[in-house]
Amino acid sequence: MPKSMTGYGRAQRLSDGREVLVEIRAVNHRYYEFSARLPRTCMYLEEKLKSFLSGKIARGKVEVSVTITRPEGKDALITVNRSVAEGYVNALRTLNREMGDGEHAWLTDDVTLSSLLRLPDLFSVTKEQEDEDAVWAVVSDAAAEALDSFVAMRTAEGSRLAADLSAKLDGLEQMLGQVEAIEPSVAESYRVRLYAKLKELLGDTDIDEQRILTETAIFAEKTAIDEETVRLHSHIAQFRELLQSDEPVGRKLDFLVQEMNREVNTTGSKAQELRITKLVVDMKSEIEKIREQIQNIE
């Protein structure tokens, strides 16, 4: 069964105090388009995720979102600037002596650890360097589970689309059968109308039966739709085969719909029968519904 292009999947992992959330979402797009929303410090994951999904998603506008959280301060590295601390202490003590009489301190030396903590630039706080391989191991594990959920959702939606498309093909083929049933009588109806018209115009004058038959044959050749109906049957059969495929078939289905529409249009342009014209309008409407639905097939 074909897959839908829309889908969503998510998964979470917890490892080494690191919580990872991966979300994959996709909407319709003519081609495959990838984008990622990542933490500023983890931009290196973009190419890894793009490569990870390559070949697993054929069409769609795909966005992967990764959120990584750690307990506050877990990845912080705090260091003491000893030279700055010693400089502060020496400067304060020198100031104290200078404010005294040169030999005795001006104030009691009460420099304490708590007073030093209030001084700027005493501590340096830096983020601990992430182990990229360790982060990727957790992210890729979550991404694999999210992808499974994403594909399952696409497959389920694709199955529903295939069932609905199959029903629409049945309706289209039924209308095509009605056209084929009417078509043989079109030439005979033309012969009868032509004879009646000539009879009305010529009155009792003899009518050339051979000429009427010749004109009817020319009309029948010009309005013959056998080739169009045969090709349309073939396109419908190919469409059904593709609906059974597990491979990406969206573009092939799009091509077939164009060809189906072409055959119906040609049938409509040749038709000289009101009943066929009405059926052609209905067939074109049904093909348009099919075309709209396959825009969501991968």
Evaluate whether 258 touches 287 at the Cβ level (below 8 Å). no
Among 3.90.1150.10, 3.40.50.10860, 3.30.230.70, 3.60.70.12, what is the CATH number of 7-71+132-153? 3.30.230.70
CA dist 37 to 15, 34, 42, 71, Å? 21, 11, 10, 21
Domain ranges (residues) in the chain:
7-71+132-153, 76-127, 159-294
Which residues have a Cβ under 8 Å from the Cβ of 70 and sit 6 or more positions away? 17, 18, 19
230: left (phi over 0), alpha (psi -120 to 50) or beta: alpha
Give the model's pLDDT for residue 19. 92
Check: CB of residue 298 under 8 Å from CB of residue 4. yes
More confident call, 200 vs 293: 293
The tens digit of pLDDT for each residue in 212-268 reads 677 666 666 677 788 888 999 999 999 999 999 989 999 999 999 999 999 999 988
43-92 pLDDT, tens per residue? 999 999 999 998 899 999 999 999 998 765 455 566 777 787 777 777 77
* pTM value surpassing 0.85: no
Q: In 3D, which of 44, 234, 233 has the Cα closest to residue 134? A: 44
Do 293 and 165 form a contact (C-beta atoms < 8 A)?
yes
The residue ranking higher by pLDDT, 172 or 210, is 172
Per-residue model confidence (pLDDT) at position 3: 92
Q: What are the structure tokens assigned to 194, written together? A: 């032509």
